[in-house]
Amino acid sequence: MDSITIIQPDDFHLHLRDEEALNSVVHDSARQFARAVIMPNLKPPVTTVELAMAYRQRILTCLPEDTDFTPLMTLYLTDRARTSDIEEIAKAEFVHAVKLYPAGATTNSEYGVTELKNVFPVLEKMQESGVPLLIHGEVTNPDVDPFDREKVFINDVLAPLLKQFSELKVVLEHITTRDAVDFVSNGPSTLAATVTPQHLLYNRGALFNNGLRPHNFCLPVLKREEHRLAIVEAATSGNEKFFLGTDSAPHAKDSKESDCGCAGIYSALNALEIYTQVFEDQGCLDKLEQFASINGARFYGISQNTKKVTLTKQTWEVPRILPFGDNEVVPLMSGETLRWKLQSQ
Ligand code: DOR
Ligand code: ZN
């Protein structure tokens, strides 16, 4: 097959940052995706509908006036969230979900939830109003090995949570393990998962490939090959519980190439082409549209996009480096060759 045309995809997990950085990266997402679920882990975090609306406006201001790109805003859950915040979401047209970061789990998560019981009334309200909870699924206990934190979270936190809130819509974000694949596959229809390009492409060997590779470091961290294979199988299976979420999370080159490098991989430039390549390698190009353009919209209860996009077989080299505010960012697969190219629309 030399070309493939699919309904324009959405990105159900995206970090756009703010200010100059936002202006540098938002155009890449708008070129590939019709809509994106925008992560709220700014500093300070986006905790209210009012802050989300202001952030949405800053995003739209960076784009041409006639842009088709639609940011789907989210709120950052803190210990101090109130049920009235959820009532506001239910009334707000542009806010679609609430993000749970266990405090200390990842970048800008220090305002996150310290104990889930602190937000039980809020979760109750979300369940009642049909607002999805998006979860960074890792425990933060330093005694738990970083490669086991997702699995332990599923067993110790997520399973009891789903028991207690059996109608709550939950997306387990950026899954990295076979455990997550199995848990989501066997879970209720209210449970789904997003899949990033890096967790389809790489196992943890990519962190240590002829030396330490900070640009392949994200959280949850890449896992063993057996886990990557399980995720590839789930994403390309046509199972409607798995859908596209890039977790594109740009950091300045300098802050990744550091003695304490930030977690996050920038993939907004080429994510769609990478997913396409992975699906082709699996002989499952016929399942790409479902994963990229249908399953997520269905789970979120939003309409399918009408526009189509075409990718053609064409090799191209991913730029080594891109501008990022007054710094630079290194994209996923920097300097490597891709076989598919999204045609400009
Ligand atoms: O690698 C990551 N980067 N994982 C996250 O959960 C957050 C993200 C970021 O914001 O940089
Ligand atoms: Zn993320």
Mean of pLDDT values over 52-69: 95
Task: Assign 197 to helix, strand or coil.
Answer: helix
Task: Assign 302 to helix, strand or coil.
Answer: coil
The rounded distance, in Å, linking the Cα atoms of 281 and 302 is 30
The number of the ligand nearest the C-alpha atom of 101 reads 1
**φ, ψ at 36 (rounded to 5°):** -145, 140
* Between 109 and 223, the higher pLDDT residue: 223
- Residue 193 Cα to ligand 2 midpoint, Å, equals 13
Nearest CA to ligand 1 atom 8: 264
Nearest CA to ligand 1 atom 7: 107
To test the pocket of ligand 1, the residue of 18, 41, 76 to mutate (highest count of ligand atoms within 8 Å of its CB) is: 41
- The CATH number linked to 129 is 3.20.20.140
The rounded distance, in Å, linking the Cα atoms of 135 and 139 is 11
> Which atom of ligand 1 sits closest to the CA of residue 265?
1
**φ, ψ at 203 (rounded to 5°):** -105, -175
Beta carbons within 10 angstroms of residue 262's beta carbon: 20
pLDDT for 344 beyond 90 = no
- Residue 231 Cα to ligand 1 midpoint, Å, equals 19
- Residue 197 Cα to ligand 2 midpoint, Å, equals 12
Q: Which long-range contacts (C-beta less than 8 Å, at least 24 apart) are formed by 302-308? A: 302/35, 302/72, 302/96, 304/7, 305/7, 305/8, 305/9, 305/10, 305/34, 305/35, 306/7, 307/7, 307/8, 307/34, 307/68, 307/345, 308/5, 308/6, 308/7, 308/8
pLDDT value of residue 106: 82
Nearest CA to ligand 1 atom 4: 219
Per-residue confidence band for 236, with pLDDT thresholds at 50, 70 and 90? very high
pLDDT for 345 beyond 80 = no
Determine contact, residues 49/27, Cβ cutoff 8 Å. Answer: no
To test the pocket of ligand 1, the residue of 13, 22, 107, 136 to mutate (highest count of ligand atoms within 8 Å of its CB) is: 107
Amino acid at 76: Y
The rounded distance, in Å, linking the Cα atoms of 327 and 304 is 37
- Residue 3 Cα to ligand 2 midpoint, Å, equals 30
Per-residue confidence band for 283, with pLDDT thresholds at 50, 70 and 90? very high
pTM comes to 0.98
pLDDT value of residue 17: 98
The rounded distance, in Å, linking the Cα atoms of 228 and 178 is 8
> Which atom of ligand 1 sits closest to the CA of residue 217?
1
Which range marks the domain in which residue 333 is found?
Answer: 3-342
The rounded distance, in Å, linking the Cα atoms of 54 and 242 is 31
Determine contact, residues 251/327, Cβ cutoff 8 Å. Answer: no
Those residues whose C-beta lies under 8 Å from the C-beta of residue 332, and which sit 6 or more positions away, are 197, 198, 201, 215, 265, 266, 267, 269, 270, 271, 274, 318
* Dihedral (CA of 299, 300, 303, 309) sign: negative
- Mean pLDDT (the chain) is 97
The number of the ligand nearest the C-alpha atom of 105 reads 1
Mean of pLDDT values over 131-146: 97
- Ligand 1 contacts (CB < 6 A) are 15, 41, 106-107, 136, 218-219, 249, 263-264
pLDDT value of residue 14: 98
- Residue 247 Cα to ligand 2 midpoint, Å, equals 4
Q: How many domains does the chain have?
A: 1
Write out pLDDT tens, residues 286-295.
999 999 999 9
Those residues whose C-beta lies under 8 Å from the C-beta of residue 325, and which sit 6 or more positions away, are 19, 20, 21, 23, 24, 252
The number of the ligand nearest the C-alpha atom of 14 reads 2
Fill in the DSSP letter of residue 204: G
The rounded distance, in Å, linking the Cα atoms of 102 and 120 is 14
Fill in the DSSP letter of residue 266: B
Nearest CA to ligand 1 atom 3: 264
> Which atom of ligand 1 sits closest to the CA of residue 105?
6
Those residues whose C-beta lies under 8 Å from the C-beta of residue 29, and which sit 6 or more positions away, are 11, 14, 16, 36, 69, 248, 268
pLDDT for 108 beyond 90 = no
pLDDT value of residue 104: 87
- Residue 247 appears among annotated catalytic residues: yes
- Residue 76 Cα to ligand 2 midpoint, Å, equals 12
- Name the packing angle between helices 178-186 and 225-235 (round to 10°): 30
Q: Name 243's bridge partners.
A: 194
Mean of pLDDT values over 324-334: 97
The single residue of 10, 28, 85, 247 carrying the catalytic annotation is: 247
Percent of the chain exceeding pLDDT 70 equals 100
Mean of pLDDT values over 179-188: 98
